[in-house]
Amino acid sequence: MSTIQIVSAPPYQEVTWHQINWAKCHRTVRRLQARIVKATQENRRHDAKTLERLLTRSFAGKAIAVRRVTENPGKHTPGVDGKTWSTPESKSAAILSLSRRGYKPLPLRRVYIPKSNNKMRPLGIPTMKDRAMQALYLLALEPVSETTADLNSYGFRPERSTADAIAQCFIALGKTKSPQWILEGDIRGCFDNINHDWLVTHIPMDKVILRKWLKAGFIDKQTLYPTEAGTPQGGVISPVLANMTLDGLERELAKRFKRTERMQRVHQVNMVRYADDFIITAKSKELLEDEVKPLVEKFLMTRGLELSKEKTRITHIEEGFDFLGQNVRKYKDKLLIMPSRKNIKAFLDKVRGIVKGNMTIKQEGLIDFLNPVIRGWANYHKHIVAKKTFQSVDHQIHKLLWRWVKRRHPNKGARWIKEKYFTKVGNREWMFSLKRIQQDTGETLPVRLLFKATSVKISRHIKVRAEANPFDPKWETYFEKRLDIKMVGDLGGRRKLLYLWKEQDGICPICHEKITSLTQWNCHHLVERAKGGLNKLNNMILLHPNCHRQAHSQGLKVVKPAPQKGL
């Protein structure tokens, strides 16, 4: 791997952000998390509690917690105090400020975001310090939650995704003799109604700190309101608290409908959950109505929750149901999973909003706005039966863009408009693109193309193994192989980035941690371009954004790794 000169972290009281040895911090945290997993697996709760306390008081844990909240998308969003940590000095001071003694969280700042049903979803925005404290305690709580989680829970969990949940739906419903009836479950106001007393009693973390977070209140229109129930949407630790609240339902079902081979054939009860949305299968409608649904309602009632009467219903597989933006339905004993009509409409409405909101923008600007939206939507659906849907969506977008260019040139003919805004690329005749004419040859080259949904290859998703734990060292090799496959898929259309990622084995040479779509990356030039360095692959390497800033501020020398075989 790459070699690098880096200064070790200075004494705790004199910490400087860009001198922190991140590789050492990550090793320390991973080692403690692995020990927490082992203690939890062996039911040594006292030892796990001691290790959690050690992690939350460690310098490494505090540094990584601050780094997490200052690198995520919400880093520029302040809480009620109006403060953000945008400078190395403020981040260094933040590490020293994270202490249990004397800690008192400030109220949340209430904001509202629109939901798909035109209602507003309330979010609670904590201050930066409260976010960092939550991220710190999350480092200790997440290994416990992953060890005790339901096997088929996929929402807000590391190394799990909606694609895994949909793949499990196919496993549960795809066979000829699979169950025919599905209970579509939706919990009414899950985050807002969880019972505080239940959380404090059953969540294995510092009770004093947890109660302070739950009772912090929120400020809406300059008025302070108390919080009597729920965990706020917007908090770093809230998704894990909600998951741990719902964990155990799958085990209750397995206990009630014992998972022997014979009983499984009789009842065919399976559960798939993503956050607070879930489905439960069964052999008959009566079984779901008379036994499964009452069991679920009783389980939720003890936690202060209840099913939504409007959204919870029992459906036959031939009628089909929507789950996570995709429609699951059987057609003559063949299960097909396709993008749902509601999801397609929401996507096209978003595209129309972008185009209509930018009627006078330059062509390259419109392409830059549309490409990430189209690419993200297509990649979300690339594991299911979506080829015809992609073709239809591309056609709708083409018609929308044709109206956009016609409006800009009402006095021009169709041929002139086509030559100006569209070009031929391979077998595709109508590619919306910005063009450039080479001076020496006179050849027209597309320099910026609109992304086509049909350019995304349909590929089967390999579901994560239900018992796999990303904090357990024995699963490390398994998750590394999955990451390799995922990054090849994510970077498949960006060959230079994929080459660089493979060349350095997906490792950031400064902190020695994996570079993923979640952590993001920057391209670092080994010889700065201002000093004559070329924008070529042999002069580039991928670094984490924070590591990139550290390399420049400290003048660190990063060395290109030796090329691997097959590259």
Read off the tokens for 153: 């829970």
CA 504 to CA 510: how far, in whole Å? 12
Q: Which amino acid is at 506?
A: G
pLDDT above 70 covers a percentage of the chain that reads: 92
Q: What is the dihedral of CA 67, 70, 73, 75, to 10 degrees?
A: 160
Query: Is the per-residue pLDDT at 567 higher than 70?
Result: no
pLDDT in tens, 297-356: 999 999 999 998 888 999 999 999 999 999 999 998 899 999 999 999 999 999 999 999
Query: Is the per-residue pLDDT at 40 higher than 60?
Result: yes
Predicted pLDDT at 8? 40
Query: Is the per-residue pLDDT at 196 higher than 50?
Result: yes
State the pLDDT confidence band at 545, using cuts at 50, 70 and 90: confident
Extract long-range pairs of 394-399: CB within 8 Å, 24+ residues apart.
394/452, 394/453, 394/454, 396/348, 397/348, 397/351, 397/370, 397/450, 398/430, 398/432
- Angle (nearest 5°) at CA 50 between 155 and 99: 80
SS3 521: coil
- Angle (nearest 5°) at CA 470 between 482 and 247: 115
CA 368 to CA 152: how far, in whole Å? 38
SS3 368: helix
Predicted pLDDT at 232? 76
Predicted pLDDT at 10? 46
Predicted pLDDT at 442? 56
Query: Is the per-residue pLDDT at 566 higher than 70?
Result: no
Predicted pLDDT at 213? 93
Residue 526's φ and ψ, nearest 5 degrees, are: -60, -45
Q: Residue 279's beta-bridge partner residues?
A: 184, 272
State the pLDDT confidence band at 493, using cuts at 50, 70 and 90: low
pLDDT in tens, 511-526: 888 888 778 888 888 8
pLDDT in tens, 265-287: 678 899 999 999 999 999 999 99
Predicted pLDDT at 517? 79
Distances (CA, A) of 257 to 149, 153, 287: 19, 18, 11
Query: Is the per-residue pLDDT at 562 higher than 70?
Result: no
Query: Is the per-residue pLDDT at 250 higher than 60?
Result: yes
Q: What mean pLDDT is predicted for residues 169-173?
A: 94
State the pLDDT confidence band at 444, using cuts at 50, 70 and 90: low
Closest C-alpha among 493, 555, 496 to residue 521: 496
CA 92 to CA 107: how far, in whole Å? 24
Residue extents of the structural domains in the chain: 22-147, 149-194+229-337, 341-455, 473-554
279's CB contacts (< 8 A; 6+ apart) are 169, 182, 183, 184, 185, 271, 272, 321, 323
CA atoms within 13 A on the CB side of 87: 4
State the pLDDT confidence band at 441, using cuts at 50, 70 and 90: low
CATH number of 149-194+229-337: 3.30.70.270
Predicted pLDDT at 563? 56
CA 432 to CA 425: how far, in whole Å? 10
State the pLDDT confidence band at 133, using cuts at 50, 70 and 90: very high
Same fold, 149-194+229-337 and 473-554: no
Query: Is the per-residue pLDDT at 480 higher than 90?
Result: no
Give the lowest-confidence range in 52-61, 134-143, 148-157, 486-495: 486-495
Predicted pLDDT at 290? 92
pLDDT in tens, 96-120: 999 999 999 999 998 888 776 677 7
Q: What mean pLDDT is predicted for residues 360-375?
A: 93
Distances (CA, A) of 6 to 15, 64, 187, 556, 557: 15, 18, 50, 7, 9
Taking each helix axis from N to C end, the angle separating 22-41 and 128-148, rounded to the nearest 10 degrees, works out to: 40
Predicted pLDDT at 158? 92
Report the Cα 102 to chain-centroid distance in Å.
33
CA 411 to CA 553: how far, in whole Å? 55
Q: What mean pLDDT is predicted for residues 165-186?
A: 93
SS3 402: helix
CATH architecture type of domain 473-554? Orthogonal Bundle (1.10)
CB atoms within 10 A of CB 443: 9
Closest C-alpha among 401, 390, 388, 392 to residue 351: 401
Query: Is the per-residue pLDDT at 229 higher than 90?
Result: no
CA 21 to CA 10: how far, in whole Å? 9
User: How far apart, in Å, do the first and last CA atoms of the chain sit?
Assistant: 15
Q: SS3 helix, strand, coil % of the chain, rounded to 5?
A: 45, 15, 40
